[in-house]
Amino acid sequence: MTSSSERHPWGLPPWRIDFAVPEQALPGAVDFAVVGGGFTGLATAAWLKRLAPEKSVAVLEAGRLGAGASGRTGGIPLAESAAGDLAGLGDVLAGFTAALDEFRVVCDLSLGGAWEIGRGGEALADSPIDWNDSGRLRVVREVPGGTLDPGKLVSGLARAAHGLGAMIFENAAVAGVEWGERPALRVVRARDGRGEKIAAGRILLATNALSLPLAGLETSTHPKLALAALTAPVNEELLRAIGLSQRKPFYTIDFPYLWGRVCPDNSILCGAGLLDPPASQDVAEIRLDAEEASRMMVQFEQRVGGLHSALGKIQFTRYWGGPLLFRDNWLPVFAWHPRSRHGVVLGAFAGHGVALSVHLGRWAAEALLGPRELPDWGRISAA
């Protein structure tokens, strides 16, 4: 099997988002507009309402909640950032779990550790993983981290933000922002295609790898579509044979890249490669039924089949893609919008945003409310 349902050009992930967004009219003005209904936008909206209940907050999501990376992720929360620890970042996993407790989000979180695996000579003597993948691939060290259900995390954050009074709008794409003393967002709702304006005191752009010009990120970042794959459920014997019976997620520290985890039903979820967008840099134009993606899936299945003798007959049941945003230096973007101090841009977590996005949501809310400053490492140059 090489492809999941074709109803979405990026395929369908296995996660379920069960928060039903109530229908309502767009307000004419709000104190804070949050563009993007992924982990970053939803966590920030919840913190804004938690810290300043009297302020009005609207979350504007172009598709359904979790339509970007958050509903399509692997769901492996990790410490720090893709660039390591950063000034003022604090303990990412502690901040993440504190936010989940604060907002009573239940998402099957297990923080039993994650394995860094590599081909170098410094592997653990008793490495449970011993695979053949461009060299001998073994566990190098265990790091803080674990697994969760991303659908439940999106739903839980949305429920919390809504419960605290944030207005949430799905199928409401922000087509542009008129920056000025009182910025105005042009919002197009999918149901009738009509454009409406919302005035906002301040705006958070949490749009990740989509809408790069809107966020002022078109020259400073690189968008990709990350391909993920899911096997049919496997038995304990197979998990033991390949070294995954402890159910610790894993990722390589060298190339070629490989990451994965065991899901609650004993299926194995892994990253299957990165697809480049066309010259437009718009990842929305990538389709999983296109030739390049199909070729990547075939090569990936061959690669997995060769990792270990027990994986020779492994069956893949589903593929899907999700947007990732990178900077050359792997640092997240956490900056004032290049065109206005009325806007904050937060994202570009690479493959490291599950815990970090939620952790930084609090800092983003504090910066939007003032007077907390943004970190130097998050700056972007003017587009």
Ligand X SMILES: Cc1cc2nc3c(=O)[nH]c(=O)nc-3n(C[C@H](O)[C@H](O)[C@H](O)COP(=O)(O)OP(=O)(O)OC[C@H]3O[C@@H](n4cnc5c(N)ncnc54)[C@H](O)[C@@H]3O)c2cc1C
Q: Which residues bind ligand X (CB under 6 A)?
A: 35-41, 60-63, 67-70, 72-76, 78, 173-174, 206-208, 210-211, 214, 226, 228, 322-324, 347, 349, 351-354, 357
Q: Please report how close the Cβ of residue 57 comes to ligand X at its closest, in angstroms.
A: 15
Nearer to ligand X, 243 or 332 (CB): 332
Q: Concatenated DSSP letters for 53-91?
A: TTS-EEEE-SSSTTTTTTTTS----BSSBTTB--TT---
Q: CB 51: neighbour CB atoms within 10 A?
A: 14
Residues ≥6 apart with Cβ < 8 Å to 7: none
Nearer to ligand X, 69 or 137 (CB): 69
Q: Please report how close the Cβ of residue 124 comes to ligand X at its closest, in angstroms.
A: 22
Q: Please report how close the Cβ of residue 13 comes to ligand X at its closest, in angstroms.
A: 8
Distance of alpha carbon 216 from alpha carbon 278, whole angstroms: 19
Cα–Cα nearest to 353, from 322, 376, 380: 322
Q: Please report how close the Cβ of residue 147 comes to ligand X at its closest, in angstroms.
A: 8
Q: Which tokens hold the place of 271? A: 């990253």
Nearer to ligand X, 74 or 243 (CB): 74
C-beta nearest to ligand X: residue? 353
Answer whether 321's CB lies under 8 Å from 226's CB.
yes
Nearer to ligand X, 135 or 195 (CB): 195
Cα–Cα nearest to 132, from 271, 302, 261: 302
Q: Please report how close the Cβ of residue 125 comes to ligand X at its closest, in angstroms.
A: 27
Nearer to ligand X, 277 or 371 (CB): 277
Cα–Cα nearest to 183, from 70, 344, 63, 1: 344
Q: Please report how close the Cβ of residue 257 comes to ligand X at its closest, in angstroms.
A: 12
Nearer to ligand X, 82 or 139 (CB): 82
